[in-house]
Structure 1
């Protein structure tokens, strides 16, 4: 029933998934995976307090459950409880040092909340565990770019793009474009914005930045 619920959840049939998860839990109360999956379903249907309760129940039955800490962190982020989100992602990577999604979300949140000193403390551990993860390199590139450490930022953005192979997200090129733009490497910035738009021709920030760049070139 748990596995069937997972299939339904992946098809976004959340209420059907919930039905089978609750049946599974009724038959086996101390089933941590079912409780965690119920939390995911409840969060997906915006029943956030119920989702928190389900995740915490899962953790009662399995103390060392990195995926559950990761999902609980995501829930707290949605609830704008950012400190608790960070605590849970830190717990996830403590239990599972190669939990790429938890590292990525942790660094991105530190970036978005301007906690640069804490980010610089976390980055070495993330890169030690996951040097070849595109999302980690991208998140690190964003941090270094904001700190004006352009060469280091460039290295991580280029690494993220290289590691992504044929599936480079448009934002990787767009943010590298912003870095070059700030670094006054105008031609490289233009190339990166164009690369982003080849992947997603409606990428608003890339369009805006490219137009701004063209005006700058005309003035010069």
Structure 2
């Protein structure tokens, strides 16, 4: 069949997919394969159909078929690598990274390829490699929110270099001033590693203003008050959380500790 006829099948199939008519699209692609069994795009598009139908096994099978015909099919490389990451099958992580490395070679300016490789390297506990990919992602796109935050998280938790995470969190907050997770992580670094209670208070107060229902942020703000010796403020802070979330046992425990310390402080000597 002439290529333009196959293109017509592909275009109509994509239209059906946009309309949510996945089974019709699948039938159409399979019909086209009768005429052209060596068309990588048809196998890839069938993979997308199965992906939307939540059939990861069939999706992966069709992405692999596309790659067997066209080993540098960028969309098949990318989506199959994502499926490998989501599968949590560690024995496949190496193949996923190989596919992403090939993508990076084919399109070195695309930041999402580095980002996906960084996440997969993190999952496979290759933390130094993950750091390199995150940095390369940020070289391609300095404002990539996910890379800024996840690199900071990696530096803090896995590489045990929390101080190195601070510039990335500050950059993320500068670009995305409502990014709650960045404030929470920066506040955690401030209180536990930098011993900067003023910065920690600023971060957790910001979380409270952005997301008043965020229990973690409110609780951490209360802990800052405890660390500063402001026990009355800590008590009222914890009591407010208890009123909003009475089932949080760790809040109950901390409130009891603060009240005991207040009682001890007020007891005549």
Give the one of 186, 195, 201 matched to 2:171: 195
Structure showing greater radius of gyration is 2
2:17 counterpart SS class: helix
Structure 1 unaligned residues grouped into runs of 5+: 1-27
Shift of 1:49: 0.8
TM-score by length of 1: 0.73
Question: CA separation of 1:137/1:45 partners in 2, compared to 1, >3 Å: closer, same or farther?
Answer: same
Kindly report which structure 2 residues correspond to 1:103-118, keeping only aligned pairs within 5 A, or say none. 103-118=77-92
Kindly report which structure 2 residues correspond to 1:134-153, keeping only aligned pairs within 5 A, or say none. 134-153=111-130
- 8 A contact 1:116–1:143 mirrored in 2: no
Q: Structure 1 residues 74-83 or 138-147, which shifts more?
A: 138-147
Question: CA separation of 1:122/1:189 partners in 2, compared to 1, >3 Å: closer, same or farther?
Answer: same
- 8 A contact 1:134–1:161 mirrored in 2: yes
Shift of 1:63: 1.4
Q: State the alpha-carbon separation in 1 of the partners of residues 92 and 172 from structure 2.
A: 30
Q: State the alpha-carbon separation in 1 of the partners of residues 77 and 10 from structure 2.
A: 20
Q: State the alpha-carbon separation in 2 of the partners of residues 117 and 212 from structure 1.
A: 31
Give the one of 23, 26, 35 matched to 2:9: 35
Shift of 1:169: 3.4
Shift of 1:77: 1.0
Alignment size in residue pairs: 187
- Does residue 1:94 correspond to 2:68, yes or no? yes
The match for 2:30 is 56
- 8 A contact 1:154–1:176 mirrored in 2: yes
Question: CA separation of 1:37/1:180 partners in 2, compared to 1, >3 Å: closer, same or farther?
Answer: same
Question: CA separation of 1:217/1:156 partners in 2, compared to 1, >3 Å: closer, same or farther?
Answer: same
The match for 2:150 is 175
Of structures 1 and 2, the one with the larger relative CO (CA 8 A, separation 6+) is 1
TM-score by length of 2: 0.61
Question: CA separation of 1:145/1:79 partners in 2, compared to 1, >3 Å: closer, same or farther?
Answer: same
The match for 1:66 is 40
Runs of 4+ in 1 over 6 A off after TM superposition: none
Query: What CA RMSD, in Å, does the superposition of the two structures yield over aligned residues?
Result: 2.5
Give the one of 144, 154, 160 matched to 1:184: 160
- 8 A contact 1:100–1:130 mirrored in 2: no
- 8 A contact 2:173–2:183 mirrored in 1: no
- 8 A contact 1:141–1:154 mirrored in 2: yes
Q: Structure 1 residues 129-138 or 93-102, which shifts more?
A: 129-138
